[in-house]
Amino acid sequence: MAITPENTSSDNVVNPPKSTMSKDESADTRLDHDLAVQAQAQEEEEDVNVEEEESPPPVASVEFTSFASVLFPSPSLPSYTLVSTSPALASARAMMQRGELEECLLATGAMLASILEHPAVDNNDLHPCLPPLYYLYGTVLLYTVEEAGEFSICLVLSA
């Protein structure tokens, strides 16, 4: 913008040029612009919500959800030895060793829920058969937090 006597004051401060639009026209233009921005933001938010709804939550396999009913048929009682030597627990440990932490958490959580629902355990969260599962679940949670911490440290160091 060129400085002319019309758009300068005595302080040599540049004043904006006078608008040729009336105040009503500029208010309408601003309102139209604001409405367009709001509509675009709402569309983007709806797109995000649609994407979130499309992905189903992860579910543990039947091997883990039916853990107690397979390992402890109705007359038998859950025991520490049966749980700690079970193939499902060995499978979950293998997931942890392969680095499949989220899958291992799902599997271990499903096994815990399955045992807690067993009639012999009757939601006793201190039942003697549960420590191997609690140990694995806690270990995997710590690994998950540790991985998240390393990732955030990498982000900070790369910035």
Q: What confidence tens digit (pLDDT) does each residue in 131-159 have?
A: 999 999 999 999 999 888 866 655 556 65
Q: pTM for the full model?
A: 0.57
Residue 133 resides in a domain = yes
CB 111 within 8 A of CB 69: no
Is the distance from CB of 117 to CB of 153 less than 8 angstroms? no
> 74 and 50, same structural domain?
no
pLDDT of residue 72 exceeding 70, the answer is yes
Instruction: Assess if residue 96 is contained within a domain.
Output: yes
Q: Is there a single domain that holds both residue 139 and residue 83?
A: yes
Least confident of 81-90, 105-114, 143-152: 143-152
Same domain, 85 and 154: yes
Q: Which backbone phi and psi does 14 adopt, to 5 degrees? A: -80, 125
Least confident range from 51-55, 85-89, 119-123: namely 51-55
pLDDT score at 107: 93
Residues 49 and 98 in one domain: no
Residue 139 in any domain: the answer is yes
Residue 1 lies in a domain: no
Number of domains in the chain: 2
Q: Which domain holds residue 93?
A: 70-158
Asked if 46 and 75 sit in the same domain, the reply is no
Exposure string over 115-129, b if 16+ CB within 10 A, otherwise e: bbebebbeeeeebeb
